[in-house]
């Protein structure tokens, strides 16, 4: 079975400061890892993904994430937070099993950027 943990329900960051949203995963095999963002009353939007290769992945809106296999983590980061980054963020994992991939989502972290 695969699972994702987002240990913080809420993260508050001052505008201009760096931000980190944490994610750890559990999967029996090689994972695909994703970050999605959800704005109020909207569907989820894809931010970035890790498949293979470079452990530092860059995505939309200046976000990046670092895959750490030994710590089974995939934390989302941004060097300088914007008020517009305030949203709900979901980490997700999928096992590499062609034809049978299903995403398992974390419970989400609400990010609030304080002006």
Partner 1 sequence: NAGVTQTPKFRILKIGQSMTLQCTQDMNHNYMYWYRQDPGMGLKLIYYSVGAGITDKGEVPNGYNVSRSTTEDFPLRLELAAPSQTSVYFCASRPRLAGDNEQFFGPGTRLTVL
Cβ proximity to partner 1, 46 vs 61, nearer residue = 46
Question: What character string, x for contact with partner 1 (CB under 8 A) and - otherwise, covers 54-93?
Answer: ------------------------------------x---
Please answer whether residues 35 and 59 qualify as being in contact, where contact means their C-beta atoms are separated by less than 8 angstroms: yes
Q: How far is the CB of 85 from partner 1 (least distance, A)?
A: 19
For 25, counting Cβ atoms within 10 Å of its Cβ (0-12 exposed, 13-18 middle, 19+ buried), the class is buried
Q: Which of 101, 112, 113, 115 binds partner 1 (CB under 8 A)?
A: 101
Which residues from 2-31 bind partner 1, rule CB under 8 A?
A: 4, 9
Cβ proximity to partner 1, 74 vs 90, nearer residue = 90
How far apart, in whole angstroms, are the C-alpha atoms of residue 95 and residue 93? Answer: 7
CB under 8 A: which stretch of 11-19, 65-73, 77-85, 102-110 binds partner 1? Answer: 102-110
39 binds partner 1 (CB under 8 A): no
CB under 8 A: which stretch of 17-25, 62-70, 71-79, 96-104 binds partner 1? Answer: 96-104
> SS3 breakdown of the chain: % helix, strand, coil, rounded to 5?
5, 50, 45
Q: Which residues are registered as beta bridge partners of 66?
A: 56, 75
Please answer whether residues 33 and 92 qualify as being in contact, where contact means their C-beta atoms are separated by less than 8 angstroms: yes
């Amino acid at each position: 079975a695969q699972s994702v943990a987002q240990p913080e329900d809420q993260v508050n960051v001052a505008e201009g400061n760096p931000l980190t949203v944490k994610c750890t995963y559990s999967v029996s095999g090689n994972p695909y890892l994703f970050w999605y963002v959800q704005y109020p009353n909207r569907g989820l939007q894809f931010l970035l993904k890790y498949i293979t290769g470079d452990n530092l992945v860059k995505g939309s809106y200046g976000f990046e994430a670092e895959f750490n296999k030994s710590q089974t983590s995939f934390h989302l980061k941004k060097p300088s937070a914007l008020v517009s980054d305030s949203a709900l963020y979901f980490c997700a994992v999928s096992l590499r099993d062609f034809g049978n991939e299903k995403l398992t989502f974390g419970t989400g972290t609400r990010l609030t950027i304080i002006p």
